[in-house]
Structure 1
């Protein structure tokens, strides 16, 4: 097996976690908008593809779901969402940063692919991850999302490597590991946050890495 030239990471539950209870936003959006919770949830989910693949404003969605909502309430919810989404990006664990630093020092290209909406990564430029990542591909900017093989191919092109010479590491959400494999990349399941906040089981069929340090064992 030849040494890869680049590694592409997922963001959420791979490089950062949103499941730390101290960072969770309180689920009061529907109540504060004066919308039935089930109706809001259905509307929010129905707009997932739109949120992930175009730069739509979070406030625009809220106004669509609740046309009678007060503008001040919508703005407050928007600011709270920005803060909640910034928290994990601004509190990256040192072991993650050390791992990326070591990979860069050894000459590997570092990529990132995230299925995200515009407000979810508004704080990216302030994150300690940003200078360590050579190419960050955000789905809302490029019009496609994992597991579409096109988004992996795009990341590889930006890194200047063929998919066969790149590795993808992610927790497995959005069927991302199968998408990476379909593009021709070697894919590994990031298990460290899955173990800490066990909201779902690791994906079958892919080698599971129990800590960021194991990424070094695989790649170096």
Structure 2
């Protein structure tokens, strides 16, 4: 949580040290961070879908932190379980997004009983699935997404792993990590939505060149 001092929930942006409503983001008795987003929650930006989602910042601040692919080794890893999904069956739990890009470079998605790690090879390209594993609601899984100093992406999903080069067309779009519950659905009762529990979340950024 210390690396996500900018959190969007119910169409509003909460900047560190502001606290979100406890029914949207809370830490339970086990120390696990819970993200809840109703399909009827407010939206933000150009998205038609709601989210309760953190955006990478400098640790313990509200200052946005962005990094260029190839600048250093940057990784985000999580131990997660999805407790509830909207009727569309789709909730995004992690991203590598890009400043001024219309779409993210990478998404970690729970989708109809599977976890998928999907990427776009070029900024306006279609997504392709890098990793996919069956995952029922409530089951814990681990993932790690990393871009290194050679602009090489490495992704792991439990015992699965894959890698791919980051196309140079992404080089003008600084990257940043996001994590939470971004539901790809905006219809239904307010009790319908995405409930994502991060049992652990770690962001590591290598030393940037002077």
Give the TM-score normalised by structure 2: 0.29
Q: Which has the higher contact order (CA 8 A, sep 6+)?
A: 2
Q: Give the number of the structure whose alpha-carbon radius of gyration is greater.
A: 1
Give the helix-richer structure, 1 or 2: 1
